[in-house]
Structure formats: structure tokens, C-alpha cells
Copies of this chain bind each other. A is one copy, B any other.
Amino acid sequence: RTLRIGLIPGDGIGREVIPAGRRILEALPSSLNLNFSFVNLDAGFETFQKTGTALPDKTVETLKKECDGALFGAVSSPSTKVAGYSSPIVALRKKLDLYANVRPVKTTAGSSNGKPIDLVIVRENTEDLYVKEERTVEGPNGKVAEAIKRISERASHRISTIAGEIALRRQGIRDAAPGTSSHSQPMVTITHKSNVLSQTDGLFRETARAALAAEKFSSIHVEEQIVDSMVYKLFRQPEYYDVIVAPNLYGDILSDGAAALVGSLGLVPSANVGDGFAIGEPCHGSAPDIEGKGIANPIATLRSVALMLEFLGEPNAAAKIYTAVDANLDEAKFLSPDMGGNATTQQVLDDVLKRL
């Protein structure tokens, strides 16, 4: 099988980590019978400055027509408001209907001095405040701006369904390797703020409850947690959580919070997942402070590559990458500066590659 992968480095350290992602795909053992071809695509703030658009049509068209999946690096946000600029990753998620943003956060056997964390945040990726429908009016007391938070039954249902499927798949992996996880049962925690937003978040909550009540999910323990308590609990007992499903914005916030728990955003991958398409994307940003120094942590990207492969139906290739990355972290010999080490991007990558 040959997979065609779009490479969208974006800005800043995106350009340093996406090449690492390409390298690990090229280095996968031939026994997997997987081949890759690549196409370089533009997006980001620099693209905006050059062309007037942060997400050229060509990028979207090429992904739609030619590609099986993609890797997205990071984009810089302008530090002041720039007319006409709008985040290309948010647009891409919507244009390709990548309705789920999947963000696993876990400690490795060696790295966790506290309790082991092994959870995944399944974030709705197309609506909520990210519809970006805003308006501003000039009132008697100054400007008043409004934004729409939109929650639909359809999007809430499909995100909850994929959350349930991910919970079952994780349990399958645990059943195949007993003793590797502290979770004994699949669990999904529904996050919302329906005590304030009874209609929008209320709809998310009820729809998630209904989706997860399906016969095929009967082995899943379903709980819910108001978003503010969820942040509190996430920090007090992260080891308790398995799958957390959340509307877009809460998912965004929760995943950065969870990243803090495992030590660095540089470790946390994500995949933007739609039907038959996935974009791997490290959770970190473009990191202007370390840009160009060659010291960005490539782990989040390598794990995002694996996650993309999982959702493209290649779990064995994904497992090879996860295992190699975990071994690098457990040995802790080649760690990038964000992890307290002094290895370069290249050194971390080489160390992972040699373990493939």
C-alpha cells in the first residue's frame, strides 16, 4: 500500500519537526509493506504575508484530491490584530470535515514519577465558538462584540461515537497486553457546562449520553464532569481518566492542561480525524523563542505520525513508532531542552529511528 502524505510545516518550529515526521515514515521497516509519497504544501502566517491568504486553495485541493493523510506543523499567531488573517488549521479542520481532534496524553513506564497517566481527549473539531461567527456593534457605552457558540446534535453525536469507539479500541489493546495499564474498564467522561449553558452544552451532554448508550458501547462506563471541575480533577487525579469527550473549546483548554501533566507540550500529539482522512499535528505551537535553533522536540510530531497512521488503518506501523518513542523517553539519554536534556531535534530523531 502506498500512502500519499501532504506535508504542511507552517511557521516557526513547524519547519523543524515536520521533516522529522517525514523521516520516520521513510524509515519504517519494509516488512510493513507500506510506502509513502509526499507533497509539500503551504499554509501559515508567512504564507499569509506573502500571498494574502493563510490557507491557499491549492493546499486544500491537493489534500482533497491527492492525499490520504497529512502532517501539519504549527502556525504563528500575529501578536496584534491583522486584518484578513485567520488561523489556517481551524479552516482546514472545517474544510476537510475533520470532525474529531484526538489528543492522547500518557506517561511512559520510566518517565512517570507520580501515577501513570494514560488518557485521551477527544475534542469536537468543527463547531462551538470555532464557527467564528462574530459581529461588533457600537453602543451607547462603547463597543459590544458577540460570537456564536454553536452545538449541533449531529456533531455531538459523531464525536461521542468516535470517543466510544476509541475507548473500545484502547480496551482491546489493554486486553492484548495485560498489566500495561491501570484502567480495567473502558470509560468515557463527558465534559460540558450545562449548569450554565442548558441548551448548547445541555444538547452536547444529552446527545453524548444517548450516543454512548448504544448497545455496542455497553461495556463502557460513562461519566460526566462540568468543565471547571474537570480541570480540577484532571490535576488532582489524572490517572483516573481514560477517554474525555468535549466540545471544541473545552477540548482545546483541557488538552493543554493535560500536556502540562506529562511535563511538556513537546510530547503531546494530536490527529484531526474525518471519514477516511487524518492530519497529524503536534499540540505545541510555532515557538518563536526557539525557532531556528534546531532544538525543538520532535516527539509530539513523531507520535502524531503514529496517530495519523492509526486512523488511516495502519495500527502496526503506529505501534512501531510508539514503542520506539517510548524507549527513547524511558532511556532518557537523548532528550530535548524542554525535557531537561540537551539533545538537538536531529539527535532525538536519530535515537528514535535506531529503535524502529
Identify the A interface with B (CB < 8 A): 77, 81, 86-87, 90, 129-130, 132, 134-136, 139, 141-154, 157, 193-200, 202-203, 206, 226-229, 231-232, 234-236, 249, 252-253, 255-257, 259-261, 265, 285
Query: Taking CB as reference atom, which chain B residue is nearest A202?
Result: B81
Query: Taking CB as reference atom, which chain B residue is nearest A252?
Result: B228
Tell me the bound Cα distance from A298 to B120 in angstroms: 35
Structural contact, B199 and A145, CB atoms closer than 8 A: yes
In the complex, how many angstroms separate the beta carbon of A251 from the nearest chain B beta carbon? 10
Given A132-B196, A142-B153, A196-B87, verify A235-B253 contact (CB < 8 Å).
Answer: no
Please pick, from B135, B253, B259, the residue contacting A227 in the complex, using a CB distance under 8 A: B253
Query: Taking CB as reference atom, which chain B residue is nearest A224?
Result: B79
Structural contact, B253 and A231, CB atoms closer than 8 A: yes
In the complex, how many angstroms separate the beta carbon of A152 from the nearest chain B beta carbon? 5
Please pick, from B77, B152, B257, the residue contacting A235 in the complex, using a CB distance under 8 A: B257
A135 contacts across to B, CB distance below 8 A: 199
Q: With contacts A142-B154, A145-B203 known, what are 20 further pairs, Cβ within 8 A?
A: A81-B194, A129-B196, A130-B196, A132-B196, A132-B198, A134-B197, A134-B200, A135-B199, A136-B199, A136-B203, A142-B153, A143-B153, A144-B151, A145-B199, A145-B202, A146-B151, A147-B197, A228-B253, A235-B235, A235-B260
Structural contact, B199 and A147, CB atoms closer than 8 A: yes
Tell me the bound Cα distance from A199 to B131 in angstroms: 13
A142 contacts across to B, CB distance below 8 A: 152-154, 157
Tell me the bound Cα distance from A135 to B150 in angstroms: 10
Query: Taking CB as reference atom, which chain B residue is nearest A136?
Result: B199
In the complex, how many angstroms separate the beta carbon of A286 from the nearest chain B beta carbon? 11
Tell me the bound Cα distance from A329 to B228 in angstroms: 25
A249 contacts across to B, CB distance below 8 A: 193
- Can you list 14 pairs linking A and B with CB atoms under 8 Å apart? A81-B202, A129-B196, A134-B198, A141-B152, A141-B153, A143-B203, A144-B153, A145-B202, A146-B151, A228-B253, A229-B285, A232-B256, A253-B253, A257-B257
Query: Taking CB as reference atom, which chain B residue is nearest A228?
Result: B256
